[in-house]
Structure 1
Amino acid sequence: MTHPYDLSEQTQAKQILSFNLGSEAYGISIDSVREVLEYTSITRIPKTPEFMRGVINIRGSVVPVIDLRLEFGMPSVEPTIATSIIITEVRCEERISLIGVLVDSVQQVLDLPVESLAEAPPMGNRIRTDFIAHVARVDDSFLIVLDMDSVLSKEQLQDVARNAEPVETDRIAEPA
């Protein structure tokens, strides 16, 4: 399976699901998105990190939900009618798991020309940017395209994956 952020074999456009956290615009490769859900009740699991909001039930599967606001050092906010959960496939070692990502609002699927996607600029040794797959200019602003396999540290992913059920690795997810 080709990594969803690898541009080496692509020559035209990359589909990115855009979403907002506060006033900032982010995106995820549509290749790693399973579906987008309206906000629903999340069952909290005791003694888990604050960024892990809990789990939800999707057609009989237990799916952990992380709050990107908390992971990115932003304050938590009350859910609104626009709050969504993006269900993504995340690779941790040799296992692929479904993880829900809580976001303020989902915007649209963008067809971004490959040439509009730049690598994350260097920010120095103290600032972690490995979770940024690309930075894209969209109109007059920037869109930060996340590498969902790297947003959480390996240890965080392992903790979250323990609460998730594995996904069959021999099939490719169809976008919702």
Structure 2
Amino acid sequence: MTESSTLEDGAQYVTLGIDRDVFAVNVDKVREILDVRPVTRIPYAPSFMLGMIDVRGRSVPVIDLRTKLGLPAVEATEHTRIIVLDIETGERTLTMGILADRVFEVTSLDGKDIEAPPDVGIQWRSDYIQGIGRRADSFVIIFDLRNLFSSEEAALIIPASAPAPSHPEV
């Protein structure tokens, strides 16, 4: 693991479910956890960006974590939640929501029980993973939020000075 992704002993994590897998984000990055609410779509946004929600008077982009991870989108259920996160990307902090199939609990994971992402002999997007924790007989994949929402995702909104995308003639 790199120095920027050092894990602390006994750190607290919010565990969440996507499909059959359990993931975790550091509780210090979680602003709040919300029930699903209507999302306003944004034209020309990447497929994994659901749109924007209002959180206490602030516009917050929402990412479909399933789609971001290469899984098919599914309808929201009574367990689906939006986790609002503060993510440090370089010199600024972004507030983003991630749509998760369910949220389980806040739990602590000891650094000695957390391993680096596995080396599988081929190149794959393991930069999203800060570490792999163990809870009972299962694994918890700890997201590296900075890499999950790298600069390419941080540029989801077209700057005001950029030209508008061209539209095909109808």
User: What is the TM-score when the length of structure 2 is the normalising length?
Assistant: 0.86
Cα gap change, 1:160 to 1:23, in 2 (>3 Å): farther
Out of 145, 150, 159, the position equivalent to 2:142 is 145
Give structure 2 stretches of 5+ with no counterpart. 160-170
- What is the aligned length? 157
Tell me by how many angstroms 1:155 deviates. Answer: 1.1
Equivalent residue runs for 1:111-126 within 5 Å: 111-126=108-123
2:17 aligns to what SS in structure 1?
strand
Cα gap change, 1:114 to 1:160, in 2 (>3 Å): farther
Cα gap change, 1:18 to 1:141, in 2 (>3 Å): same
2:146 aligns to what SS in structure 1?
helix
What corresponds to 2:6 in structure 1? 6
What corresponds to 2:166 in structure 1? none
Distance in 1 of aligned mates of 2:82 and 2:38: 11
Cα gap change, 1:4 to 1:34, in 2 (>3 Å): farther
Matched, 1:67 2:83: no
Matched, 1:79 2:76: yes
Distance in 2 of aligned mates of 1:65 and 1:161: 16
Tell me by how many angstroms 1:161 deviates. Answer: 9.3
Distance in 1 of aligned mates of 2:158 and 2:79: 27
Percent identity (aligned): 34
Cα gap change, 1:29 to 1:160, in 2 (>3 Å): farther
Distance in 1 of aligned mates of 2:158 and 2:105: 28
Residues 87-140 of structure 1, C-alpha deviations (whole Å, 9 max, x = no match): 011122211010000000000011112211111112345211011011011111
Tell me by how many angstroms 1:68 deviates. Answer: 0.7
**Which of these two proteins has the greater Rg computed from alpha carbons?**
2
Matched, 1:47 2:44: yes
Give structure 1 stretches of 5+ with no counterpart. 163-176
Q: Which amino acid aligns with 1:15?
A: Q
Q: Is the 8 A contact 2:82 2:98 kept in 1?
A: yes
1:78 aligns to what SS in structure 2?
coil
Q: Is the 8 A contact 1:18 1:25 kept in 2?
A: yes
Q: After the TM superposition, list the runs of 4 or more consecutive aligned residues in structure 1 that deviate by more than 4 angstroms.
A: none
User: RMSD in angstroms over aligned alpha carbons?
Assistant: 1.9
What corresponds to 1:165 in structure 2? none
Distance in 2 of aligned mates of 1:108 and 1:97: 24
Equivalent residue runs for 1:154-173 within 5 Å: 154-159=151-156
Q: Which amino acid aligns with 2:43?
A: P
